[in-house]
């Protein structure tokens, strides 16, 4: 027992000499981190269900040869299987949370079935990576100086939090950018659709034509229109397709447009007339949004104008007087 105590004392003295007074604490933290990293694969390991293996084998055997080749050519099977083992850990088990995250990723433009799983995997991986970077920085700072305990804790926690929140910030920013692009391009798309309908094309054909014409300027909106056209060609109910688009986009103008088309189809009114009225309203709303931004601009520029204009003006007006006063005082002996 005394030998063990002496060994622990020697290790403690060596760590304290190398890394300072907080050396034992950092050593315990690093060991805990490595133990967590070693334990995670065991905890996340998911036993394969024999029935699931039989079902997958049967489905793989029944799949056409062309589909197998296409699946191998896409190269998705291997990567998906790696994350699928940890689906119970990476995906929210609550159906409501899963639906909300799935909808947010759809509105950000990520339509893959594995989008939710990949998103949570990136959160977990980046959080661990930045946490390790924070631990290494804490060890380096304790070896080169004498930081406080609070600064060491913050240098470990802050990078981990930043790494964990980076995918969420990216998805939110992508969602906002995409919705703004759709909002800006929607009035032009309605004008094109109105021209196509009045020229004698059906609503389905006009949607296909508009998706091709606006792709150069508004690719996100073109993708949505193209998806609508493909779903209609596949035989899906038109009203349900429009409602799915409204939910997938998450823009108020698109939701109003879908409501107008559904009401027009329900009551048997002219689609061209409904598009004409609604497109005029959308153009007015775009003008109002531009005027609102223009009216906000002077308020936003006030602070910058004061900071960049008032100090130089004071220097120009008061500077010579201050210089003359200083010269006079120096000559008077003060």
Q: Cβ atoms within 10 A of the Cβ of 274, count?
A: 19
Distance (Å, whole) CA 138 – CA 24: 13
Its pTM stands at 0.63
Residue 276: name the closest of 211, 213, 195, 214 by CA: 195
CA angle, residues 49, 51, 53, in degrees to nearest 5: 75
Distance (Å, whole) CA 228 – CA 220: 13
Rg (CA), the chain: 32
Tokens of 266: 């329900």
User: Any idea where the domains of the chain sit in the sequence?
Assistant: 2-46+76-176, 178-287
Extract the runs of DSSP E, i.e. beta strands, from the chain: none
- At 173 the pLDDT is 92
CB 214 within 8 A of CB 235: no
Q: How far apart are the first and last CA of the chain?
A: 78
Chunk the chain into consecutive blocks of 10 residues (it has 334) and report each block's average pLDDT, rounded to whole numbers: 61 64 64 62 52 57 46 43 58 76 86 83 87 85 77 84 90 90 87 87 85 87 87 84 86 86 80 84 86 86 82 86 84 73
Read off φ and ψ for residue 28, nearest 5 degrees. -65, -40
CB 220 within 8 A of CB 235: no
């Amino acid at each position: 027992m005394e030998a063990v105590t002496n060994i622990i004392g020697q290790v403690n003295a060596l760590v304290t000499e190398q890394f300072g007074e907080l050396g034992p604490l950092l050593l315990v933290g690093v060991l805990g981190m490595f133990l967590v990293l070693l334990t995670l694969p065991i905890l996340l390991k998911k036993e394969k269900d024999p029935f699931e293996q039989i079902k997958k084998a049967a489905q793989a055997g029944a799949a056409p040869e062309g589909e197998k080749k296409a699946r191998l050519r896409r190269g998705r099977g291997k990567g998906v299987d790696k994350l699928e083992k940890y689906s119970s850990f990476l995906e929210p088990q609550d159906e409501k949370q899963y639906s909300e995250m799935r909808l947010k990723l759809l509105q950000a433009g990520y339509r893959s079935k594995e989008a939710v799983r990949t998103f949570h995997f990136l959160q977990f991986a980046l959080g661990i990576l930045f946490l390790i970077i924070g631990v290494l920085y804490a060890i380096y700072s304790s070896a080169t100086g004498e930081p406080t305990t609070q600064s060491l804790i913050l240098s470990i926690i802050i990078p981990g939090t930043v790494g964990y929140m980076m995918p969420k910030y990216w998805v939110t920013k992508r969602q906002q950018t995409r919705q703004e692009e759709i909002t800006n391009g929607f009035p032009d798309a309605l004008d094109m659709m109105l021209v196509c309908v009045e020229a004698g094309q059906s609503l389905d054909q006009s949607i296909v034509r508009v998706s091709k014409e606006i792709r150069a300027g508004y690719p996100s909106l073109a993708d949505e229109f193209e998806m609508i056209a493909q779903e209609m060609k596949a035989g899906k109910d038109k009203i349900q397709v429009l409602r799915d688009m409204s939910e997938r986009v998450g823009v108020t103008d698109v939701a109003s447009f879908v409501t107008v088309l559904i009401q027009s189809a329900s009551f048997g009114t002219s689609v061209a007339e409904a598009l004409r009225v609604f497109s005029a309203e959308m153009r007015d709303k775009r003008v109002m949004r531009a005027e609102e931004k223009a009216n906000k601009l002077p308020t936003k520029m006030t602070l910058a104008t004061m900071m960049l204009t008032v100090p130089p003006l004071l220097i120009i007006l008061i500077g010579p007087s201050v210089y003359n006063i200083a010269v006079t005082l120096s000559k008077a002996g003060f």
